[in-house]
Structure 1
Amino acid sequence: MIRRLATAALSVTALLALTACGADSSADAAGSGSKVTLTIGDQAKTLQTIVAASGALKGAKYNVKWAEFEGAAPLYQAVQAGAADTGFSADLPALQALSGGVKIKNIAALKNDGTHVGLVVRKDSGIDSVKDLKGQKVVVSSAKGSISEYLLANVLKQNGLDYKDVKVQYLLPTDAQAAFSSGRIKVWAIFGVYQAVALEQGGKLLVDGADGRVSGYGFVNASDKALADSSKKAALSDFLKRLGTALKWTSTHKDAYAKAIQERNGADVSVAKTLASAAYGQVLPITDDVNRTVQDVADLMNSIGVLDPSVDVAKSADTSLLK
């Protein structure tokens, strides 16, 4: 079981490494004559799988072209270059893009329960609480400014510790997984399927992102250029509603969604179920509450030198597309 799950995780990583900017139109044929085409930015076929499996784009009066990327950074680079109309990520990658000058606006919020992010320690580490992390080396995946780094920073703060009380090292998940399984890493800040792998390979969950330890928010955002095009803006508004329907479908059809992940991403059963359970479950309007919550994330990451300059989250939103 352990070997199969770990191997599957590595195979998914290999899939993610293959950046594919494709013209896989999922809009209904009735809209194929439309002059409006949305190029939707995606990571690892996440959104594409959801809308295809749920049939949410059936009857759309515009065309959809998917731009696939291995992660948030290259996706936002594509949005900046005009190769995609939209971005999609957890809160921190969106904040990093805004901080870096990418000309986007957040147009909808996504929500999950935060349990897909965690601090995992080896069972033989002698670490039984967050306070025991003082003086320890913590490996953060994948890179500086990840959602797993925010979890680490936030729980340290909640437990009266400073971020400088731990020694942070950044490693890609595949490299960290090998080091964790061999015992060379005691504490790993990780997410998704790799969290499941770590728990299978001699790990225990110290704390996860539930109960507000991470915001649980992600964003769909759109380029300023796309938002300035009235036809595209109308299509984007419709797409957000359809995406909301699709995410509701995933929450009531978990087995079918997991099967779609298997078929479209080449994941095995265990990995597909883990990815399905970690998915966002709602598309929400961007409210003052959403902005305040994510502003707290931005301010904390700015305070530890990870997000510089910081971001005014409320001013980075266009709330007119989804009421």
Structure 2
Amino acid sequence: MPTSKSRWIRRAGGLVAAVALAFTATACGGDSETGEGKGGGETVLKLIDPGNAGVLAYAMKSGILDQELRKVGARVEWGGYYPSFTAATDAIRSGAINVQSGAISPALGYLSSTQDIKIFSFGDPVTDQRAGAGDGLVVKPNSSITSVQDLVGKKVAVNRAGHGEYLLLLALEQAGVPADKVERVYMQPDQAAGAFAAGRIDAWVAIVDAFPEAVAQGARVIFRGRDLPSDDLSITVASNKVLNENPKALQTYLKVVQDLTAEQRLNPEKFQNVFEDKGPRAADGARLTNNIETARYANPPRLPKPDDTKSIEAVNALFNKYNVLPNKVDPAAVVFDWSKVPS
């Protein structure tokens, strides 16, 4: 692991520009002033920039998503990049993003202040130990921290009301460590990468692409998210407006992502370095190996099941216990009811 702060910070900058979340998308049409609804009132799916790897990067390059969406009166628009769901909340509120993937925890964080989205798909957890890095808590190689109990009195970076904060609180509960004995420092992944490199925090619950990047740079892992009894399933949300306006566009989006995920599991190399195999966005070495193994074991998104409500309730209960959410959320009201959509 580099000891130079500058190398860590350069890598952190590369992280922000490099890889997007696994799936994310959409917006809706109708308002000529915003540019939505052009081309005959079609629904516009506004996706974040998917980066250089994954099913959405492949969909962007191949045009397969646009091709299928045209069949249901929709099109895709590619936008900016956000390193996590919590980092994208302002864009979701403004309508710059109308569909976003992440986990139950940040969706509840968002819904505790604004109820203009619903969860329309879930993803089952990846538990296979052969899978890629995942997410978890990391420390510097020379840190005195060797267990969750050693976090007492330490500063730990997490994304607020998101997957990072959820994993830390869950790990503390499992270890019997009072949450108020550990200082949670709220940072987005790009901010935390710099703080970690500079030694301003003692540990970091790194998520999404930040965790494998930190591991590739030599950070020591204290726990991984998949080793905890987590209820924080992966999810995709959409704005109420687009769900009500054109649910078939989201069904199409989901089907394309499912099909590409199945293909990716069989041929993960095809979904790496989609646009560039050299330069700051390209992965090689240990990072590329991790990306391939992550893709090989990725679970496709699926429609909601009745038991998913129990997972939402469990995440909500943990957040409520530690007063994470500014307002209460009704777990029964956050999932889109597909039974009301005509077949």
TM over 0.5: yes
**What is the match of residue 15 of structure 2?**
12
Distance 1:74 1:191 in 2: 12
State TM-score, norm by structure 2: 0.74
Distance 2:16 2:147 in 1: 31
Distance 1:48 1:237 in 2: 15
Structure 2 CA distance for partners of 1:264 and 1:282, relative to 1, 3 Å: farther
The correspondence for 1:118, drawn from 115, 118, 136, is 136
Distance 1:158 1:316 in 2: 27
The correspondence for 1:40, drawn from 37, 42, 46, is 46
RMSD: 3.7
Instruction: Give the secondary-structure state (helix, strand or coil) at the position aligned to 1:307.
Output: coil
Render the CA deviation track for 1:118-168: whole Å, top value 9, x for unaligned: 11123332322212222222222xx31221111110010011112112122
1:260 corresponds to 2:268: no
Distance 1:264 1:246 in 2: 24
Q: What number of residue pairs does the alignment pair up?
A: 308
The answer for unaligned runs of 5 or more in structure 1 is: 24-31
Per-residue deviation, 1:41:
3.7
- Residue identity over aligned pairs, in percent, reads 25
Which stretch has the larger CA shift, 310-319 or 267-276? 267-276
Distance 2:208 2:94 in 1: 29
**What is the match of residue 88 of structure 1?**
101
State TM-score, norm by structure 1: 0.78
Distance 2:41 2:144 in 1: 62
Render the CA deviation track for 1:61-86: whole Å, top value 9, x for unaligned: 03322252433357444444445543
Distance 1:211 1:54 in 2: 36
Render the CA deviation track for 1:208-257: whole Å, top value 9, x for unaligned: 1014444352222222222322xx12222222122211222222222111
Distance 1:175 1:273 in 2: 26
Per-residue deviation, 1:111:
3.7
Contact 1:38 1:235 in 2 (8 A): no
Structure 2 CA distance for partners of 1:134 and 1:80, relative to 1, 3 Å: closer
Distance 1:112 1:86 in 2: 20
**What is the match of residue 167 of structure 1?**
183
Distance 1:198 1:16 in 2: 14
Structure 2 CA distance for partners of 1:7 and 1:111, relative to 1, 3 Å: farther
Structure 2 CA distance for partners of 1:80 and 1:276, relative to 1, 3 Å: farther
1:103 corresponds to 2:121: no
Matches for 1:15-34 after TM superposition, within 5 Å? none
Instruction: Give the secondary-structure state (helix, strand or coil) at the position aligned to 2:265.
Output: helix
Render the CA deviation track for 1:27-72: whole Å, top value 9, x for unaligned: xxxxx98753332343645663143367653444033222524333
Structure 2 CA distance for partners of 1:205 and 1:83, relative to 1, 3 Å: closer
The correspondence for 2:57, drawn from 49, 59, 63, is 49
Distance 1:84 1:118 in 2: 27
The answer for unaligned runs of 5 or more in structure 2 is: 28-37, 128-132
Which stretch has the larger CA shift, 254-263 or 79-88? 79-88
The correspondence for 1:304, drawn from 307, 313, 322, is 322
